[in-house]
Chain A
């Protein structure tokens, strides 16, 4: 099929869709009653609900089922896959790495973003400084990882260096260091990339929250004898608490799902694999359907409560 034909098909489908919606609208609009309203709502909701069920709900259920079957999804194995996750040394390391990611990234990214937001607030160069900080957000995680792979790049101490960090070590008189392949610290060097990306996000949201603190409250606090650090501690932070929680949970969710950075920087080698990467590696590279599915389910179970909490906090922020 040529590109032209594909576009033609696309247009036909869009046209069909509009026609069907128009017919639904005309038909249901004639029924002017409560029943008609319900009919109309259903007619418009149904396609979306069907597609969601097909694309999201069905695979989710299938994944849960497969997590109880073997690597080719042919035999029931009970909880064996889950048992493997919590007993196998390699998989335990994956869990440990994931825990490090989730504990370190949100906290550091939020703290850095908050401090930065407070420092540049109302400065003359604020817009420029914020744009600088936000820029990493605009880069894909793969792009960010490639940039940092250069930063961490390793050559023998005697050789000419292409990595900025090792060049720095060398000019300070130290031996060059294998940032990416030396366990266990390499996981932390990968975490740095995520922090670099997420701190900009944290800064943007928190900066907006800080600006939303009413002027007269800040003035009242100044009259009450508060300034500097105590203003931050007693007025600023409590005032932006809901936004802080939203930022923390949002970054936590993103971190739990981190895949691109590990894939790009180490390919899961040197003991850096995490849950989201391992589930891909097991399912699509080692062709172990059962274990892959079990890892996916575990990830899902971990993310869900945070998402719920996040949504609730978000509503609170909006309600203020």
Chain B
């Protein structure tokens, strides 16, 4: 059991003009499940591979607990990794795959087989122990890869998009299984994904990266409620937040002539060009006379529990598609025009140029 600390960790690939990971500072508590998320090329995998020892650290330090592991070879770091393509050894059986690290560490045959059996029981893999990976389904292979990590009883789990090769349904069920397993084992876990839904549902905390820079790290809800900048606001949440270009005008946001009320703290700080963010569920449908933004409905998605209305708005500054979550259940249909407004406490205000959050 141990915490993980990135202390200004930087990775510059030879020949690259900017660092793949730039001065990453991150503290991961003992037993925590931390998710690194971001678009491709944001440095999330590189950050993980630096921790695993598969990528050199150009500057800064990485510590596990009190141990500085920056310059240790992978095998001495006491970590286990689950790869995106599982990286199972094709010439070994499931049991051999899972016990290989122990064998290399000189653990006796008997203890090895006990630990493999325990892990197999945990993952429901007992009847496959004698099979080769080739004879397993994708989901089973994924579990073997998990088992290989668990058997080692490491201080830290590194997981590099372990669900991306599963089909959508299996991904959802495996997601919960992994989260529950991690909870049970209590092993510090760093998990990389590009899927923000996965990040939100699995992580104790989520770290959002972009272009090698850490944008924000917080609990899923805090990320959702108070995104620190425009990038995080647009990245977290599905469907994404509506971002509207506006100008600061007398304590209100002026969106192409429509005035939107803003909370007092943001109002006191904003000047010039600002961006107003509204989550789909924070729109209120109002009548035309109440002065809402007119939205021409193009698509209505009824998912049962909730529905989404997609539409266009001719008002200057609005995005190409406005998304509104409703519970109208069929009251709105394609071609209608609806009028929407929102409340000050639900409006996220950002400075357009710097992208930083102005609201409280």
Interface residues of A (CB under 8 A from B): 214, 216-217, 219-227, 230, 234-235, 238-239, 241
A220 close to B90 (CB less than 8 A): no
Q: Is A230 a contact of B104 with CB atoms below 8 Å?
A: yes
Chain B residue at smallest Cβ distance from A215: B87
Q: Which residues of B (115-173) have their CB < 8 Å from a CB of A?
A: 148
**Complex contacts, A239 vs chain B, CB 8 Å:** 90-91
Q: Check B91–A225 contact: CB distance below 8 A.
A: no
Beyond A223-B52, A224-B104, A225-B101, is A217–B75 a contact (Cβ under 8 Å)?
no
Indicate if B54 sits at the interface (CB-CB under 8 A).
yes
Chain B residue, CB-CB nearest to A219: B54
**B89 CB–A CB distance under 8 Å:** yes
Known contacts A219-B54, A220-B89, then 8 further A-B pairs from the complex at CB < 8 Å, ordered by chain A residue = A216-B87, A217-B87, A220-B87, A220-B88, A222-B74, A223-B52, A223-B74, A224-B104
Q: Does B80 sit at the interface, judged by CB under 8 A?
A: yes
- A220, B81: Cβ atoms under 8 Å? yes
**Residue from B84, B85, B91 within 8 A of A241 (CB atoms):** B91
What is the bound-complex CA distance between A235 and B103, given in angstroms? 14
| Binary interface encoding of chain B residues 41-75 relative to chain A, with 1 for a CB under 8 A from any of its CBs, else 0 | 00000000000111000000000000000000111
Collect the chain B residues with CB atoms within 8 Å of residue A219's CB.
54, 74, 81, 83, 87
Contact residues in A for B52 (Cβ distance below 8 Å): 223
Residues of B contacting A223 with CB < 8 Å? Answer: 52-54, 74-75, 79-81, 101
Secondary structure of the A side of the interface?
helix
The 8 closest A-B pairs by CB, nearest first: A225-B75, A216-B87, A224-B101, A238-B91, A220-B87, A225-B104, A216-B83, A223-B74
The answer to whether the Cβ of B100 comes within 8 Å of any Cβ in the partner chain is: yes
Which chain A positions have C-beta within 8 A of B148?
A: 220
In the complex, B303 has a CB within 8 A of chain A? no
Residues of B contacting A230 with CB < 8 Å?
104
A239 to B104 CA separation, bound complex (whole angstroms): 18
Do residues A222 and B75 form an inter-chain contact, with CB atoms below 8 A? yes
B360 at the interface (CB under 8 A from A): no
Q: Which residues of A contact B85 (CB under 8 A)?
A: 214, 216
**Does B331 have its Cβ within 8 Å of any Cβ on chain A?**
no
Chain B: number of interface residues, binned into ranges:
20 to 34
The answer to whether B87 touches A214, judged by C-beta atoms less than 8 angstroms apart, is: yes
Q: Which residues of A lie under 8 Å from residue B75 when comparing CB positions?
A: 222-227
Contact of B105 among A220, A225, A227, A238 (CB under 8 A): A225
Contacts of A217 in B (CB 8 A): 87-90
The distance in angstroms between the C-alpha atoms of A256 and B120, with both chains bound, is: 50
Give the CA-CA distance A243 to B334 in the complex, in Å. Answer: 62
What mask results when residues 282 to 296 of chain B are scored 1 for a CB within 8 Å of chain A, else 0? 000000000000000
Minimum distance in angstroms from B228 CB to a CB of chain A:
34
A224 to B83, CA, bound (A): 13
Please, how many angstroms separate the alpha-carbon atoms of A226 and B104 in the complex? 7
Return the chain A residue nearest B154 by Cβ. Answer: A223
Q: Tell me, rounded to whole Å, the shortest Cβ–Cβ distance linking A246 to chain B.
A: 16
B89 near A235 with CB under 8 A, answer: yes
* B101 contact set on A, CB distance < 8 A: 223-225
> Cβ of B100: which chain A residues have Cβ within 8 Å of it?
221, 224, 234
Q: Which residues of B contact A216 (CB under 8 A)?
A: 83-85, 87
Candidates A222, A224, A238; contact of B54 at CB < 8 Å: A222
Q: Is the CB of A220 within 8 A of B83?
A: yes
Q: Using CB atoms, name the residue of chain A closest to B77.
A: A223
Q: How far is the CA of A222 from the CA of B83 in the complex (A)?
A: 13
CA distance A272 to B104 in the complex (A): 48
CA separation between A81 and B349, bound complex, in Å? 100
* Nearest-Cβ distance from residue A224 to partner chain B, whole angstroms: 4
Chain B residues near A220 (CB, 8 Å)?
A: 81, 83, 87-89, 148
Residues from chain A with a CB closer than 8 A to the CB of B90 are 217, 239
A256 to B91, CA, bound (A): 31
Nearest CB in chain B to that of A235: its residue: B89
CB distance from B75 to the nearest CB of A (A): 4
Question: How distant is A228 from chain B, measured CB to nearest CB, in Å?
Answer: 11
- B78-113 contacts to A, CB under 8 A, are 79-81, 83-85, 87-92, 100-101, 104-105
A241 to B105 Cα, complex, angstroms: 25
> How far, in Å, is A160 (CB) from chain B's closest CB?
54
Cross-chain pairs A/B with CB under 8 angstroms, 10 sampled: A214-B87, A216-B85, A217-B87, A219-B54, A221-B89, A222-B54, A222-B75, A224-B75, A227-B73, A238-B92
